[in-house]
Amino acid sequence: MIATQLETSWQRWLIRIAVFLAMLTLTVPGVWVVLTAFRPNIEVMARPAIWIPQDWTLDNFRRLFGFSSAQQGLPVARYFLNSLVISLTSTVVAVLIGMAGGYAFARYRFKGKATLFLAFMLSRTVPGVALSLPLFIIWARLGLIDTSVGLIIVYLAINIPFTIWLTDGFFRQIPVDLSEAAQIDGCTAWQAFWKVEFPLARSGLASAAIFAFLTSWNEYALASQLTRTTASKTMPVGLMDFTAQFTVDWTGMSAMAVLIIIPALVLTFIVQKHLIAGLTFGGVK
Amino acid sequence: MLGSFLCKALLASCAALTMIVSASAQEFDYGSFPGYTLRVKLVGGTQYEKLYTRIPEWEARTGAKVEIVSSKQLFDLDREVKQDIATGQITWCVGSNHTSFAPQYGGLYVDLKDYIPAEELAKYVPGTLASSEVEGRLVQLPRVTDVSNLYYRKDLYEDSARQEAYRAKFGAELAPPKTYDELKQQIVFFADPPNLFGTAFTGKDEGMSGRFMEILRANGGDLFDNNWNPTFNSPEGVAALQWFVDIYRAGAVPAGTVNYTFDEIGQAMAAGQLAIDLDWPGFAGFYSDPASSKIADHLGFALSPVGSAGVRGGWSGSHSFSVTEACDNKKAAASFAVFLTDDESELMEAKAGNLPTRSATYDEVIKYFNENGKTALAEMFVIWEASLADARTPPLIPQWIEVSNVLWPQLQAAILGEKTPQEALDQAAAEARTILEDAGVL
Amino acid sequence: MISTINTLPKAAGRSLAGFFRSPRAVPYLLLLPGIVVILSVVLVPLLVSFWTSFTSYNLTRPETLYNFVGLRNYQRLMGSAEFWWAFGRTFLFITITLNLELLLGLGLALLVNRITWGQRTLRTIMMFPMMFSPILVGFQFKYIFNDAIGLANNALFDLGLIDQSIPWLVDGTLANISIIAAEIWMSTSVFAILLLAGLMALPKEPIEAAKVDGCNAWQVFRHITLPFLMPFVFIAMTIRSLDVARAYDMIRIMTNGGPAGRTELLWTLMTRTGYQNSQMGMANAMGYVSIILSIVFTFYFYRKLTAARAFMGGAQ
């Protein structure tokens, strides 16, 4: 058995340190926000900076949910639900549509293929400000303002080019022979797809799903425009409620941010499973 | 005897009757609108929402229901309103407004003088009400007013070592500044970077334009003349801009101040990093609360300084409520607006440290603070009330924001030393002229 | 006889219905839902805003929508130094951030790929910045780079490296570096996760064969890993170049294009013109000129993508 280690243990440690430093850089700014959610406002502006909160408190969360006399709470649960419904729905549908489109581009040769592909890509070059007002006007006529459906459709348009390209790339990596082999064995093309190609593309579909979800979950600009009330307002829009004209309520905003981050983290962790490289092409040589 | 008794009785009952009649004439009729749903768009944010806890009271009084269609922060609300105007979708009746934004909305809102009796309007501070008019129409009912005044660090001013040094250097007593020149002097004097700065100012967006406008007006100049020609590149304007340039160059303000918004200055002051802060009343509560501010015990208040013309700049604005032209029940809408600005509402706002818009509330709240041991805040209100006399808004034209957006980048350029103040202001004036010409105003 | 790719036989019938029933229609049918969504959400607004760029459309005076002014907006743009500076700055911003994100993302992906223990946690941590909404990132970094109470200066003070506050968000070069840093923090993970997925999809045999033949790590990387990854690289680049406009919210909060226009990018300029100044017609004109920028980037990466695929002998 040939050793698959190309590096010495010294190199391995170097790699581990590099990864640690990289992770640190990635997390520190974010961790600051999380810590701020648990500290009183006066600590935020301290000089020299107080890194670990001296005065842990859950007050910020209490204020958020309205258990304090100072203000009315925010309908956080409602925002959370809206975000969840809108993000999950648009993700699932975008992945399905993307899968269909990606398969078409990966496996078929047809007239207008290059043009169509480019058209999908170019649909994303339209700047937001050019799109947002006419979109608002049309959605208003259709009665889609302040509805989850309205926002879901818009997020689909944002995510579909994405999911198509990603799945296209992943389907291309799967040898066509596999599907053909299955068809020789008696499956129809449809069955061959679901039995053979779909499982192998899982890692691609999982990454497409994660991106689509995170894009929708964190999107602010269009959401703030197309939503009005708790009927459809999402969490990022709720986040901006904390920036009043004069003071940015840092601790309140951080508390809200924690609520936005945690579900995203949890979901990502769960979907990770399908990113695992299970690919062995041992079956076809 | 009977005659005189009868006379007295008649007089007494006449008096009583007049009192009853006038009392009910004094009290505003909120009306009765059972089964009606009033759709409103209100400004959101922690400092605005306490007032909305009174809404159920209005609902009980009038039998109507209030539906909050939208609750956003001011800039987003402005954008939303503009979109509604663009699409013709005015499906709501009452909207939060602000004197800086109101001129842009054209005929969106009604003239409230047609819906609210004059006696009721007389209860509001006259200057505030006048600022709420656009082209003679009362398009909004003011809710709270913001006028800038000075917050200062009492401990720094009462420090004997500093008093000595100040006396030695300037030959005057160290006391809160009366003029902008004195203010500049003290800002530079106190500065001890990086731990203490003299002050900080909002260095971008409408904040910068506004602070500049204040000093410009205090010097006797103004942004436009009566025919809307830009006049801010006058010598008074140059002097005003030079004021900022000088303190920036002296390092008496944080270098990042050109990027600061009101909240960063608030945080810096509360953290004890600034000696003086020319700022809004809304910060009083924040600064004097030991849980959020390090300077709570050392907070002093003073009137804003005067400029070379001996007047105050008095930059002010009011948050307000407006009623839409498209509303199907304007009486209910007007009733709601009055309710949210009535004596009790105003007292509630004042207790939170905001400047009320009804004259009577000032005395009430000062009394309240004195009785509750918050003499510092009572003292503040006395001073704040005095400053109302000089309160002036930015120009009430629809193009104000656009003009401001060409002004503040030039102001920044001068402050950062990229241009001379005259060059910067001339450039801004030329661009402002183009804007007004395009709009047909010039 | 099955060929290596579905080149479809000529359709039997010539009618539309016949077309849709034939195997030739399959790819079109697969693409139909996507096409419908994009058309309805993008095309119509696109046409409307294109029209408005030829008018003096002002948001608060809807009647100006029909006020045709021809090429006036575009003419003004051509002569506007402010616009072209923003254009150039945006081009530079996109180029720098994309390249740095690619390099850092690739490095990160390669490193994480090597670690065998706790991969799942590592991958989740790697994606941590993606959990943050752009406006939150804006507030976060505005606070970090605040010269008086920000983390960056505080840390540098504590370490004794400086004794004067560094005006991160004020100085021309530093301010641009700050927004680039914030953007890189926000989006490197995207590259990293895409490239990591690509690395995981790497077939093992060529690498093992190379090792048997005695190649070292660098040679393996350069001649096997990298070419295999190139299609993924270009997909990622294209996606990111179109997505980079998301940074707008972050930049608006950090500097709003200032001070004195030092960090003015196309997006801050357009949005201020359109929504604050209410000059929608002009803002849309700006938008269409800047589309050229996006189209250039997209075309460039698409050509590279197809070239990379051809090189790999993959499906056309």
Contact between chains at A33 and C136 (C-beta distance less than 8 A): yes
Peptide bond into B194 cis (omega under 30): yes
Q: Would you say residue C312 has pLDDT above 70?
A: no
Label residue A232 by pLDDT band (50, 70, 90).
confident
Higher pLDDT, B87 or B112: B112
Q: What is the pLDDT of residues B324-381, one digit of tens each?
A: 999 999 999 999 999 999 999 999 988 877 889 999 999 999 999 889 887 878 888 8
**DSSP of B213-249, one letter per residue?**
HHHHHHTT--SB-TT--B-TTSHHHHHHHHHHHHHHH
CA dist., res. A225 & res. A219, Å (int): 11
- Contacts across the A-B interface (CB distance below 8 Å): 92
Question: Which helix (H) or strand (E) segment is B144 a member of?
Answer: strand B141-147
Are the beta carbons of C167 and C176 closer than 8 angstroms?
A: no
Contact between chains at B49 and A46 (C-beta distance less than 8 A): no
Label residue A7 by pLDDT band (50, 70, 90).
low
- Taking any CB pair shorter than 8 Å as contact, residues of chain B touching chain C are 79, 82-83, 85-88, 104-106, 193-194, 197, 200, 203-205, 254-256, 258-259, 264, 267-268, 271, 273, 398, 401-402, 405, 408-410, 412-413, 416, 418, 438
Contact between chains at A242 and B46 (C-beta distance less than 8 A): yes
Peptide bond into A175 cis (omega under 30): no
Structural tokens at position B326: 């498209």
Confidence at residue B306, expressed as pLDDT on a 0 to 100 scale: 93
Q: What is the pLDDT of residues A116-126, one digit of tens each?
A: 888 888 888 77
Higher pLDDT, C268 or A252: C268
Q: Would you say residue B15 has pLDDT above 80?
A: no
Q: What is the pLDDT of residues C269-307, one digit of tens each?
A: 988 888 777 788 888 888 888 888 788 887 888 888 888
Nearest Cα residue to A178 out of C203, C200, C4: C4
Chain A neighbors of C30, CB-CB under 8 A: 100-101, 103-104
Confidence at residue B4, expressed as pLDDT on a 0 to 100 scale: 60
Q: Would you say residue A279 has pLDDT above 50?
A: no
Backbone angles phi, psi at B96, to 5 degrees: -70, 140
Q: What is the pLDDT of residues A162-211, one digit of tens each?
A: 888 878 877 887 888 888 888 888 788 778 888 888 887 777 788 788 88
State the smallest CA–CA distance between residue C294 and chain B in angstroms: 27
Strand B133-134 to B137-138 pairing = antiparallel
Structural tokens at position C176: 């641009």
Neighbours of A, requiring at least 3 CB pairs below 8 Å, are B, C
Confidence at residue C16, expressed as pLDDT on a 0 to 100 scale: 66
The C-alpha torsion from B419 through B420 and B422 to B424, rounded to 10°, is 20
Please tell me the CATH superfamily of domain B149-313+399-438, with its number: Periplasmic binding protein-like II (3.40.190.10)
Label residue B189 by pLDDT band (50, 70, 90).
very high
Mean pLDDT of C179-193: 90
Chain C neighbors of B203, CB-CB under 8 A: 258-259
Label residue C26 by pLDDT band (50, 70, 90).
confident
Selecting from A140, A240, A252 the residue whose C-beta is nearest the C-beta of B87 gives A140
Query: Which amino acid does the sequence have at C50?
Result: F
Strand B94-98 to B65-72 pairing = unpaired
Label residue A83 by pLDDT band (50, 70, 90).
very high
CA dist., res. B84 & res. A133, Å (int): 10
Confidence at residue A283, expressed as pLDDT on a 0 to 100 scale: 23
Angle at A183 between CA A180 and CA A188, to 5 degrees: 130
Q: Would you say residue A4 has pLDDT above 50?
A: no
Confidence at residue A244, expressed as pLDDT on a 0 to 100 scale: 55
Question: What CATH number does the domain located at B30-145+316-389 have?
Answer: 3.40.190.10
Chain B neighbors of C59, CB-CB under 8 A: 82-83, 85-86
Helix, strand or coil, per DSSP, at residue C260: coil
Contact between chains at B86 and A247 (C-beta distance less than 8 A): no
Choose from C48, C59, C75 for mutation: most chain B CBs within 10 A. C59
All CATH 3.40.190.10 domain ranges in chain B, comma separated: 30-145+316-389, 149-313+399-438
Domain A76-283: CATH class, spelled out: mainly alpha
Selecting from C59, C60, C258 the residue whose C-beta is nearest the C-beta of B412 gives C258
Nearest Cα residue to B99 out of B201, B200, B210: B210
Chain A neighbors of C285, CB-CB under 8 A: none
Confidence at residue A250, expressed as pLDDT on a 0 to 100 scale: 76
Neighbours of B169 (CB within 10 A): 10
CA dist., res. C225 & res. C198, Å (int): 10
Confidence at residue C257, expressed as pLDDT on a 0 to 100 scale: 82
Q: Would you say residue B428 has pLDDT above 50?
A: yes
Label residue B219 by pLDDT band (50, 70, 90).
very high
Domain ranges across chain A = 9-65, 76-283
Domain ranges across chain C = 48-312
Are the beta carbons of B273 and B196 closer than 8 angstroms?
A: yes
Confidence at residue C20, expressed as pLDDT on a 0 to 100 scale: 67
Distances from the Cα of B68 to the Cα of B44, B102, B220, angstroms: 11, 20, 44
CA dist., res. B93 & res. B104, Å (int): 18
Label residue B12 by pLDDT band (50, 70, 90).
low
Mean pLDDT of chain A: 79
**Structure-token match 């007295």, residue found:** B8
CA dist., res. C287 & res. C300, Å (int): 20
Q: Would you say residue C123 has pLDDT above 70?
A: yes
Selecting from B82, B264, B409 the residue whose C-beta is nearest the C-beta of C261 gives B409
CA dist., res. B400 & res. B390, Å (int): 20
Selecting from C8, C115, C239 the residue whose C-beta is nearest the C-beta of A16 gives C115
Quick one: what percent of chain C has pLDDT higher than 70? Answer: 92
Q: Could you tell me which chain A residue has the CA closest to the CA of B202?
A: A246
Query: Model ipTM?
Result: 0.79
Contact between chains at B83 and C147 (C-beta distance less than 8 A): no
Are the beta carbons of B50 and A71 closer than 8 angstroms?
A: yes
Confidence at residue A133, expressed as pLDDT on a 0 to 100 scale: 79
Contact between chains at C238 and A165 (C-beta distance less than 8 A): yes
Question: What CATH number does the domain located at C48-312 have?
Answer: 1.10.3720.10
Backbone angles phi, psi at B30, to 5 degrees: -75, -10
**DSSP of C185-222, one letter per residue?**
HHHHHHHHHHHHHHHHTS-HHHHHHHHHTT--HHHHII
